[in-house]
Each structure stands twice: as structure tokens, then as C-alpha cells.
Amino acid sequence: MGLRLIFMGTPDFSVPMLRALHAAGHEIVCVYSQPPRPGGRRGLELTPSPVQKTAEELELPVRTPVSLKSVEEQQAFAALKADVAVVVAYGLLLPQAILEGTRLGCYNAHASLLPRWRGAAPIHRAIMAGDESTGMMVMKMDEGLDTGPTALTKEVAIDSDMTTGELHDLLSQAGAVLMVEAMEKLQNGSLPLTAQPEEGVTYARKIDKAEARIDWARPARDVHNMIRGLSPFPGAWCEFNGPKGKERLKVLKSRLADDDAQGPVVSCAEGSVELVQVQRAGSRPVSGADFLRGLGSSLELDIT
């Protein structure tokens, strides 16, 4: 018999863990997710989160509070009498009453090798910094920002051309396996907890769209890391002089340029970058080579 468990998550990243815990036989007494957001073609329809959709598919009870700060919400949480809460990219602050609202506490799956990249955007920041590896960690939550003791770790290599989207999917699947293992160990009393070291702390601040414009004056490797770190969202961008004047161009994939380049090649402070996959405003993504062919003329990127 499994644990009596509360699951708390919102985006696609959390879904494999919800499915894996359900398949492992735990009694998921409630799923918490952020409230439905405006969506649809005109933004008029309320669209439930991926986690809410999955929970409803699995016929699990769902709650979508705007906040957990009220006494009423905290009492409702405690009334579930759960053994443990699993938190994966939920997106809401957990007050102390929630952290203490289950028999065994709250456990978080965090997408970095803590204490490196605490905070909101660890996958983006690891790639943008040029890290060669990252991982998933199961951590017992406390009141700090990703400061709790860690339990289990799965390290994942970051390929030199890997994008945030690709790493996101790898870590999501790795986290699902790791959390099932963690809950099994927690249930039988063998889950280790180790305090995080004080050295090596870095913070992964939330991605700001204002930082997405490419600065070609930086070294080519830094530009390449930025492009893949911001792909697919929000997407690094530049401008070029097209047939109708200056246009914005989103760059979704790149590589350090060599003699075999097929797409546009842009000189940087140290070396050059080939634009492997790009997207014009209002168009679908295409290869850099197809982009050049579509222009039918020479390309001049605005690097100012």
C-alpha cells in the first residue's frame, strides 16, 4: 500500500511525475494546481493547467486556489490528513502551515544540482551559463528558497548544442523516476537527508523578455549558449533587413560556425555563430538554410 499523498504542480514539466506516482500505487488524495488561465484563440476561454487536465483524466480531486495564505485554505489542506506532499513546479508560495500540514512534510523535485541554481529558472540559467551537467534533486522543503536538505540526485549531461526545451523534457522524465524512488524510500524509512553545502550557491532568476535580444558583440560561445538557453521560450532574437525593411527574427537553434555552415553565419567578438533554426514573425520555424533561400537575396543582420 502506498502513501497518502498530495500532489502540487502546474506545467507540463510536472505531469510525468504525477502519472508516475499514480502508477506506483500511491493514494493521491488531492491535486493542487494554479487556477485556469485565459487561453484559446482570443484569450477568452479559461484553460486548465496541464496538471489539472491530467488529474481530471486520472479522476483525481483537484483544487486550484489563488493563494494558500488564508487560514481556511491551510485548514482544508491539513484536513486531507496526507502523509506527504510532493511539489513540482507548483508556482505558489507555501506558507509554514502548509509545509507542516502533512505527517512527513513536503518534498520538492528541483531541476538543478543544488545549491547551484536555486530559484525560478534553473534549466535556462544552466544552459546560458554553459554548464556541462545539471540534474534533478529531491529536496525536503523548508521556508527558504530551495534551501532544504536534499535526498536523491540524478545527474544529467548537457550536450553542447542542447536547448532548454530538450533538457526540460529529459529532466522531467528523470524527475518522475527519482520521485517514485524517493517516495518508496520515504515510506520504508530509508530516505537520506543531507544539508546543502554553504559553498557554490547561485540563483536562477526568472527569465525576463528584456534580456532576449542577442548581443553579437559578445563571444560566439556566449551567444550560442544564450540562444539555446532561451529556446523555445521566450526565444532569443535579432533584427535583419528583409524585403519589407527591418524585421525581427527569433533564433531557436544555433551552433558554433565552421566551414560546413548552411544557414546564416554571424560574426561575434570571438568566433562566429550559425543560425540553424529561425522563425520570422507570424511564420513557422524553418532551417537557417531555408530562411536564406526564402529571401532570395543577401542577408544583412542588424547588430546594433
pLDDT digits (tens, 9 = 90+) for 190-247: 999 999 999 999 999 999 999 999 999 999 999 999 999 999 999 999 998 877 788 8
Q: Has residue 105 got a pLDDT over 50?
A: yes
**Contact between residue 124 and residue 164 where contact means Cβ atoms under 8 Å apart:** yes
**What class is the 4-203 domain?**
alpha beta
**Contact between residue 20 and residue 14 where contact means Cβ atoms under 8 Å apart:** no
| pLDDT score at 102 | 98
Mean pLDDT of all residues in 267-292: 94
Owner of C-alpha cell 550536450: 159
Q: What is the mean pLDDT of the chain?
A: 94
Residue of higher predicted confidence among 303 and 177 = 177
Q: Kindly report the CATH number that applies to the domain delimited by 209-302.
A: 3.10.25.10
| pLDDT score at 304 | 41
**From the annotation, which residues make up the binding site for (6S)-5,6,7,8-tetrahydrofolate?**
112-115
| pLDDT score at 44 | 72
- HSE on the CB side for 152, CA within 13 Å? 20
Mean pLDDT of all residues in 122-149: 97
Q: What residues does CATH 3.40.50.170 cover in the chain?
A: 4-203
Q: Has residue 21 got a pLDDT over 60?
A: yes
Residues ≥6 apart with Cβ < 8 Å to 76: 63
Residues ≥6 apart with Cβ < 8 Å to 289: 262, 263
Q: Has residue 294 got a pLDDT over 50?
A: yes
Q: What residues does CATH 3.10.25.10 cover in the chain?
A: 209-302
| pLDDT score at 125 | 98
- On whether the pTM is more than 0.75, the answer is yes
Mean pLDDT of all residues in 256-285: 93
Q: Of all residues in the chain, what percent carry a pLDDT higher than 90?
A: 86
**From the annotation, which residues make up the binding site?**
112-115
CA-to-CA distance for 31 and 62, rounded, in angstroms? 5
Mean pLDDT of all residues in 81-86: 98
Confidence of residue 43 (pLDDT cuts 50, 70, 90): low
